Amino acid sequence: MKIVLFGATGMVGQGVLRECLLDPSVTSVLTVGRAPTGQRDEKLRELTHGDFTDLTAIEKEFADADACLFCLGVSSVGMSEADYRHATYDLALAAGQAFARQAPGSTFVYVSGAGTDSTGRGRSMWARVKGETENALIALPFTAYAARPGFIQPMHGIRSKTRLYRALYAAAGPLILLLRKAFPRLVITTEEFGRAMVRVAREGAPKRVLEMADLTALGRAR
Protein backbone atom coordinates (compact mmCIF):
# COMPACT_ATOMS: atom_id res chain seq x y z
CA MET A 1 0.00 0.00 0.00
CA LYS A 2 1.34 3.41 -1.02
CA ILE A 3 0.36 6.27 1.27
CA VAL A 4 0.57 10.04 0.95
CA LEU A 5 0.64 11.83 4.29
CA PHE A 6 -0.08 15.52 4.87
CA GLY A 7 0.88 17.11 8.19
CA ALA A 8 3.55 14.62 9.22
CA THR A 9 5.37 17.10 11.48
CA GLY A 10 2.38 17.78 13.76
CA MET A 11 1.66 15.68 16.84
CA VAL A 12 -1.06 13.63 15.16
CA GLY A 13 0.89 13.32 11.92
CA GLN A 14 4.01 12.15 13.74
CA GLY A 15 2.03 9.31 15.27
CA VAL A 16 0.48 8.38 11.94
CA LEU A 17 3.86 8.46 10.19
CA ARG A 18 5.38 6.20 12.84
CA GLU A 19 2.68 3.58 12.38
CA CYS A 20 2.89 3.81 8.58
CA LEU A 21 6.60 3.10 8.70
CA LEU A 22 6.14 0.19 11.13
CA ASP A 23 3.24 -1.47 9.30
CA PRO A 24 4.39 -4.17 6.84
CA SER A 25 1.35 -3.57 4.61
CA VAL A 26 2.64 -0.06 3.85
CA THR A 27 5.29 -0.24 1.15
CA SER A 28 5.96 3.50 0.78
CA VAL A 29 5.07 6.81 2.41
CA LEU A 30 5.23 10.16 0.66
CA THR A 31 4.99 13.09 3.07
CA VAL A 32 3.89 16.52 1.86
CA GLY A 33 4.77 19.45 4.09
CA ARG A 34 6.37 22.85 4.40
CA ALA A 35 9.33 21.43 6.30
CA PRO A 36 11.08 18.04 6.41
CA THR A 37 10.13 15.55 9.12
CA GLY A 38 13.68 14.74 10.18
CA GLN A 39 12.88 11.03 9.84
CA ARG A 40 14.97 8.54 7.89
CA ASP A 41 13.48 5.31 6.58
CA GLU A 42 13.77 3.30 3.36
CA LYS A 43 9.98 3.56 2.91
CA LEU A 44 9.92 7.33 3.29
CA ARG A 45 10.12 10.02 0.63
CA GLU A 46 9.42 13.69 1.39
CA LEU A 47 8.11 16.60 -0.67
CA THR A 48 8.34 20.15 0.61
CA HIS A 49 5.75 22.50 -0.82
CA GLY A 50 4.90 26.07 0.14
CA ASP A 51 1.36 26.69 -1.09
CA PHE A 52 -1.09 24.00 -0.04
CA THR A 53 -3.95 25.73 -1.84
CA ASP A 54 -2.25 24.98 -5.18
CA LEU A 55 -0.82 21.49 -5.55
CA THR A 56 -0.68 21.56 -9.35
CA ALA A 57 3.11 21.32 -9.48
CA ILE A 58 3.25 18.13 -7.39
CA GLU A 59 -0.12 16.42 -7.78
CA LYS A 60 1.11 13.89 -10.37
CA GLU A 61 3.09 12.38 -7.48
CA PHE A 62 -0.25 11.16 -6.13
CA ALA A 63 -1.25 9.17 -9.21
CA ASP A 64 -0.20 5.74 -7.93
CA ALA A 65 -1.19 6.28 -4.29
CA ASP A 66 -3.62 3.93 -2.58
CA ALA A 67 -4.52 6.36 0.20
CA CYS A 68 -4.08 9.88 1.49
CA LEU A 69 -3.99 10.48 5.24
CA PHE A 70 -4.68 14.17 5.80
CA CYS A 71 -3.45 15.18 9.26
CA LEU A 72 -2.84 18.85 8.56
CA GLY A 73 -4.70 21.14 10.93
CA VAL A 74 -4.56 24.16 13.20
CA SER A 75 -6.22 25.28 16.41
CA SER A 76 -9.03 27.80 15.95
CA VAL A 77 -8.01 29.71 19.09
CA GLY A 78 -7.55 33.39 18.26
CA MET A 79 -8.43 32.92 14.58
CA SER A 80 -11.17 34.61 12.61
CA GLU A 81 -13.65 32.34 10.84
CA ALA A 82 -12.26 33.40 7.45
CA ASP A 83 -8.69 32.53 8.43
CA TYR A 84 -9.71 29.26 10.04
CA ARG A 85 -11.78 28.30 7.00
CA HIS A 86 -8.79 28.96 4.75
CA ALA A 87 -6.46 26.86 6.92
CA THR A 88 -9.00 24.06 7.27
CA TYR A 89 -11.54 23.84 4.43
CA ASP A 90 -9.46 25.35 1.62
CA LEU A 91 -6.34 23.28 2.26
CA ALA A 92 -8.15 19.99 2.74
CA LEU A 93 -10.27 20.54 -0.39
CA ALA A 94 -7.22 21.41 -2.47
CA ALA A 95 -5.67 18.07 -1.47
CA GLY A 96 -8.94 16.22 -1.97
CA GLN A 97 -9.49 17.66 -5.43
CA ALA A 98 -5.92 16.81 -6.43
CA PHE A 99 -6.49 13.20 -5.36
CA ALA A 100 -9.84 13.08 -7.13
CA ARG A 101 -8.05 14.04 -10.35
CA GLN A 102 -4.97 11.88 -9.99
CA ALA A 103 -6.13 8.86 -7.95
CA PRO A 104 -9.92 8.58 -8.10
CA GLY A 105 -9.80 5.01 -6.83
CA SER A 106 -7.91 5.96 -3.69
CA THR A 107 -9.02 6.30 -0.07
CA PHE A 108 -8.87 9.70 1.64
CA VAL A 109 -8.89 9.85 5.44
CA TYR A 110 -9.35 13.32 6.91
CA VAL A 111 -8.50 14.07 10.54
CA SER A 112 -11.43 16.07 11.87
CA GLY A 113 -12.33 16.30 15.56
CA ALA A 114 -14.80 15.15 18.20
CA GLY A 115 -17.78 17.48 18.33
CA THR A 116 -17.69 18.38 14.64
CA ASP A 117 -21.03 19.66 13.34
CA SER A 118 -22.06 17.87 10.14
CA THR A 119 -25.00 20.24 9.63
CA GLY A 120 -22.64 23.23 9.21
CA ARG A 121 -25.16 25.41 11.05
CA GLY A 122 -24.14 25.14 14.70
CA ARG A 123 -22.89 27.94 16.94
CA SER A 124 -19.34 26.67 17.23
CA MET A 125 -17.26 28.16 14.43
CA TRP A 126 -14.61 25.44 14.30
CA ALA A 127 -17.23 22.67 14.41
CA ARG A 128 -19.15 24.22 11.50
CA VAL A 129 -16.05 24.59 9.37
CA LYS A 130 -14.86 21.05 10.13
CA GLY A 131 -18.32 19.72 9.30
CA GLU A 132 -18.42 21.52 5.98
CA THR A 133 -14.95 20.18 5.21
CA GLU A 134 -16.00 16.61 5.97
CA ASN A 135 -19.11 16.91 3.80
CA ALA A 136 -17.19 18.39 0.87
CA LEU A 137 -14.54 15.67 0.96
CA ILE A 138 -17.07 12.85 1.24
CA ALA A 139 -18.83 14.25 -1.85
CA LEU A 140 -15.68 13.92 -4.00
CA PRO A 141 -15.27 10.94 -6.38
CA PHE A 142 -13.19 8.70 -4.13
CA THR A 143 -13.76 6.89 -0.84
CA ALA A 144 -13.43 9.44 1.95
CA TYR A 145 -13.60 9.03 5.72
CA ALA A 146 -13.60 11.60 8.52
CA ALA A 147 -11.78 10.58 11.71
CA ARG A 148 -13.01 12.46 14.79
CA PRO A 149 -10.55 11.90 17.64
CA GLY A 150 -11.03 13.49 21.03
CA PHE A 151 -8.17 13.58 23.51
CA ILE A 152 -4.97 12.17 22.04
CA GLN A 153 -2.17 11.08 24.35
CA PRO A 154 1.28 11.50 22.78
CA MET A 155 3.57 8.46 22.98
CA HIS A 156 7.10 7.45 21.97
CA GLY A 157 8.60 10.91 22.45
CA ILE A 158 6.09 12.63 20.18
CA ARG A 159 5.35 16.24 21.16
CA SER A 160 2.94 18.91 20.03
CA LYS A 161 4.44 21.85 18.14
CA THR A 162 2.14 24.20 20.06
CA ARG A 163 3.73 25.50 23.28
CA LEU A 164 0.42 25.76 25.12
CA TYR A 165 -0.51 22.18 24.30
CA ARG A 166 2.92 20.94 25.40
CA ALA A 167 2.45 22.66 28.77
CA LEU A 168 -1.05 21.21 29.16
CA TYR A 169 0.10 17.70 28.36
CA ALA A 170 2.97 17.98 30.83
CA ALA A 171 0.69 19.25 33.61
CA ALA A 172 -2.06 16.73 32.94
CA GLY A 173 0.16 13.66 32.63
CA PRO A 174 -1.02 11.77 35.76
CA LEU A 175 -4.64 12.75 35.12
CA ILE A 176 -4.45 11.38 31.58
CA LEU A 177 -3.46 7.96 32.92
CA LEU A 178 -6.38 7.99 35.37
CA LEU A 179 -8.81 9.16 32.69
CA ARG A 180 -7.65 6.47 30.29
CA LYS A 181 -8.06 3.80 32.95
CA ALA A 182 -11.51 4.98 34.04
CA PHE A 183 -12.86 5.91 30.59
CA PRO A 184 -10.76 4.06 28.01
CA ARG A 185 -12.85 5.24 25.07
CA LEU A 186 -12.26 8.92 25.88
CA VAL A 187 -8.48 8.79 25.36
CA ILE A 188 -6.60 7.45 22.36
CA THR A 189 -2.82 7.37 22.05
CA THR A 190 -0.90 8.59 19.02
CA GLU A 191 0.08 4.95 18.46
CA GLU A 192 -3.52 3.73 18.50
CA PHE A 193 -4.71 6.59 16.35
CA GLY A 194 -1.96 5.94 13.81
CA ARG A 195 -2.89 2.26 13.65
CA ALA A 196 -6.56 3.18 13.17
CA MET A 197 -5.70 5.50 10.28
CA VAL A 198 -3.58 2.85 8.55
CA ARG A 199 -6.27 0.24 9.04
CA VAL A 200 -8.96 2.46 7.50
CA ALA A 201 -6.64 3.19 4.57
CA ARG A 202 -6.06 -0.53 4.05
CA GLU A 203 -9.46 -2.06 4.85
CA GLY A 204 -11.99 0.76 4.86
CA ALA A 205 -14.65 1.12 7.56
CA PRO A 206 -18.39 0.46 7.84
CA LYS A 207 -19.22 4.17 8.01
CA ARG A 208 -17.72 7.37 6.65
CA VAL A 209 -17.60 9.35 9.93
CA LEU A 210 -15.54 7.63 12.65
CA GLU A 211 -16.08 8.75 16.23
CA MET A 212 -13.80 8.05 19.21
CA ALA A 213 -15.38 4.65 19.96
CA ASP A 214 -14.78 3.59 16.36
CA LEU A 215 -11.19 4.84 16.35
CA THR A 216 -10.23 3.23 19.66
CA ALA A 217 -11.69 -0.08 18.48
CA LEU A 218 -9.77 0.13 15.21
CA GLY A 219 -6.55 1.21 16.89
CA ARG A 220 -6.61 -1.49 19.58
CA ALA A 221 -7.66 -4.39 17.36
CA ARG A 222 -5.02 -7.03 16.66
Write out 72-120 in H/E/C secondary structure. CCCCCCCCCHHHHHHHHHHHHHHHHHHHHHHCCCCEEEEECCCCCCCCC
Residue 182 pLDDT > 90? no
pLDDT of residue 181: 64
Q: Domains along the chain?
A: 2-150+189-220 (3.40.50.720)
What is the predicted pLDDT for the residue at 175? 64
pLDDT of 192 reads 95
What is the pTM assigned to this prediction?
0.91
**In this predicted model, what pLDDT tens digit does every residue of 115-144 receive, in sequence order?**
999 987 888 999 999 999 999 999 999 999
